Structure 1
Amino acid sequence: MGQLKKIRSSLRALQDAVILLNNDDSLEWWNQAAEDLLLLQVADKGKSIFDFINVPEFRQYYQAMTTPNDGVHMASWRDPKRYLKCELTPFGDEKLLIIYDVTRLHHLEQMRRDFVANVSHELRTPLTVLMGYLENFSDQPDMPPHWQRGFELMTQQTARMNRIVNDLLLLSRIEIEETHEFHYINMTKMLTHIYDDAQAYNSEYGHSIHLQIDTYDGL
């Protein structure tokens, strides 16, 4: 009994909200941080947790929760500038709910994303200029032989850096997009347009360009 009191005293001292839930999702016990966060009172014992956290993300996570889990992140229902992380751990017929304030971590992660996106965009312009001049100088017929190797290496490295920048921009777009909508693409139409554009650009070069498309109508 004395050990249980020590455990509860330790939980009360935590800055993170700790809530013990019964098998019917009702409040059994909570610490001071949970009381402050959810504005709980003694009379709230036995009430449903959804009476205090009525957020769609939380309800969806709670009902589909599996173990182990990474919890759910969401904006605070009282202060949109605060961000919380909820972790639910079942044991026996009861559940332990821990709510962390991750506002600072969320802001740091947002700063990292903004930094990657901004730096990637800023690097694209000087890289494009460098690649353009390198391509022009490399095509000069009177290029001294001892310079050719240097220009080849510079062209390879700028192309490599350009690929890295494109990867960073792609990563930034993936992280920013909250939802991904999928659309069917008419590949025959798209490839035909590309072929027509290639033929137009090819008028002064005389390359032989062919397009063969095998369509499948089984879907």
Structure 2
Amino acid sequence: MSGARYRLASVRGDLGRALLLDLGLLLAPVALGLLITEFGVDPAWIWPWILLPPLLRHPWLLIRLALLIRRRHRLAPPFPLGLWGEVYRGIARYQQRGRKSRKRQIRFSRRFREAANAVPDALVILDKQHRVEWANPAATKLMNIRWPEDDRRPFTEILTQPEILPFIEAGEYMRPLDIAPEHNRAIMLSLRITPFGERKKQRLVVGRDITKIYHLNMIRRDFVANASHELRTPLTVIAGFLETLLDAPGTPAQHRRPLTLMRNQTDRMCSIIEDLLTLSRLEMRESSEEQESVDVPDELHLILQEAQALSNGRHDFESRVDETLLLLGSPPELRSAFSNLVFNAVKHTPDGTHIQVVWQRGIDGVEFSVSDDGPGIPPEHLPRLTERFYRVDRARSRESGGTGLGLAIVKHVLNRHDGRLRITSELGRGSRFVCRFPGKRALIRDDRDAIPVDELQIRESAHLNRS
């Protein structure tokens, strides 16, 4: 505070001295004129010559300053005397600050350009009309975008894949879009788009070369599918012979326990292989080809019957199912996802657990949820639950017959149906698994057919349910 007061006092002192100097420059000619008239010189002749220079000084300095500013000349000493000197000096300081700021901006822009040019990923900035505003050198190789040659050119004219325009206009950028560009089919690009700028109207497109990762995933997927398919036949044979030996009346009693263990482990291996094959089929295509009206209430009633048989009275079930609400999708895939969530609640919760199954309209679509009041899941495990073979309690999962693939299957099915999986849990209070589907997939059961649900109807119904 004392420093600010000192600077303010210094400025006031400079202005005071400049004002006194201007008064001196004005009063000195007046004194000189009075002195000359004392010698008998005609005042009408001497006063205009004495007063004209100090009066013309101000418009001259103003015009000179205006010309210097208009020509963008740098103001440098020597400065005029008086208040005009303070004006010139102040403008010169502002010019110096502006030059320093521009130099900083140029240095920052140069560093940004150098950093962007060094990035191996393609970076492209799009304007509000999805036209190219800027691109780094990597975009030439990966996207065939040359800047500045392609400046203001529509992005979809360069990358002509039909799925790109809906991806940009949809505005759902949580998942990347994988494409093989037309100019080089040998590479695989992963496109990520991030809105930025004023009102988030501009787009930053990041293209990453995932060719090696894509081929590795293809190899892994093919290996898992082929290995699972090849293992299924011998395991089926082994399971058949074990079943025959266990049912045979002449089998010794001491052999029955190891045969039973062998059959249980064989059944577990068959279950793992079936889940792996299901995952492989889901990964083959991003979206389901079978799109039909799925009678979700009927499927859930069958799943609940199977879950109650699996529980054998050890769990308390509650269901709230909207009998008029159907879903557009693949019946076997949706049944697999819903049954996995319900059966997991039975397998991985202790006896006496209350399990609630809900199928209803939500705020922005429809949702299926499975809740329980079991022991809950530690928070550090929640982000990894949908990974393959990931188990919270490995020993308990093996005892219950879990494969560690159920939630991975659920995640893939929801991705193929534009859905999202949300998992919440609290230790000692239970867990909740929610599958949310967009309103465009919701259907209403009619007397004659299933009709689409209007988005407004979904919101109104959800509001009435909550109130």
Q: Is the pair's TM-score, using the shorter chain for normalization, greater than 0.5?
A: yes
Point out the structure with max Rg over C-alpha.
2
Once the 2 structures are TM-superposed, how far is the Cα of residue 62 of structure 1 from its aligned partner?
0.9
Q: Deviations over 1:177-199 (max 9, x none)?
A: 453214579xxxxxxxxxxxxxx
Which of 230, 246, 255 is the equivalent residue of 1:138?
Answer: 246
Residue deviations 1:124-158 (CA, integer Å, cap 9, x gap)? 12111211211121122122211111111111111
Rounded to whole Å, the distance in 2 between the matches of 1:161 and 1:66 is 39
Tell me by how many angstroms 1:71 deviates: 2.2
Q: Which residue of 2 aligns with 1:159?
A: 267
Aligned to 1:89, which of 191, 194, 201? 194
Tell me the alpha carbon deviations over residues 75-132 of structure 1, each in whole angstroms, 9 at most, x when there is no partner. 1112223211111111124221111111111111111110110110111121112112
- Once residues 9 and 75 of structure 1 are traced to their aligned partners in structure 2, the CA distance between those partners, rounded to angstroms, is 28
Q: Which residue of 2 aligns with 1:57?
A: 163
Please give the alpha-carbon distance, in whole angstroms, between the structure 2 residues aligned to 1:157 and 1:15. 49
Higher mean C-alpha deviation, range 132-141 or range 10-19: 132-141
Partner of 1:75: 180
Equivalent residue for 1:172?
Answer: 280
CA change 1:50–1:107 in 2 (3 A) is same
| 1:124 corresponding residue in structure 2 | 232
Structure 1 stretches (4+) deviating beyond 3 angstroms?
A: 182-185
Distance verdict in 2 for CA 1:184–1:58, change over 3 Å: closer
Q: State the match for 1:35 in structure 2.
A: 140
Aligned residues: 189
Query: Which residue identity is paired with 1:31?
Result: N
CA–CA separation in structure 1 for the residues paired with 2:248 and 2:206: 67
Q: Distance in 2 between matches of 1:44 and 1:78?
A: 15
Q: CA deviation at 1:25?
A: 2.0
Q: Does 1:12 align with 2:120?
A: no
Structure 2's unaligned 5+ residue stretches are 1-104, 295-445, 449-467
For the residues of structure 1 that align with 2:163 and 2:211, how far apart are their CA atoms? 17
> In structure 2, what residue type is equivalent to 1:160?
R
Among residues 98, 102, 106, which one is paired with 2:206 in the alignment? Answer: 98
Looking at structure 2, the residues matched to 177 and 47 of structure 1 have their Cα atoms a distance apart, in angstroms, of 32
Q: Residues 125 and 66 of structure 1: is their aligned pair in 2 closer, same or farther, counting only changes over 3 Å?
A: closer
Aligned to 1:209: none
Could you say what the CA RMSD is over the residues aligned between the two structures, in angstroms?
Answer: 2.4
Letter in 2 for 1:70: R
CA distance in 1, matches of 2:221, 2:272: 16
Judged with a 3 Å threshold, the aligned counterparts in structure 2 of structure 1 residues 22 and 177 are, in CA distance, closer, same or farther, namely closer
- In structure 1, how many angstroms separate the alpha carbons of the residues matched to 2:247 and 2:234? 20
Partner residue in 2 for 1:189:
none
| Percent of pairs with identical residues | 35
1:135 aligned partner, one-letter code: E
State how far apart, in whole Å, the 1-side matches of 2:206 and 2:293 are: 42
Question: Is the contact made by 2:130 and 2:154 (CA closer than 8 Å) also made in structure 1?
Answer: yes
Distance in 2 separating the partners of 1:96 and 1:79: 22
- Structure 2 vs 1, CA of residues 58 and 182 (structure 1 numbering), >3 Å: closer, same or farther? closer
Instruction: Give the letter aligned to residue 108 of structure 1.
Output: L
TM-score by length of 1: 0.77
Structure 2 length as normaliser, TM-score? Answer: 0.38
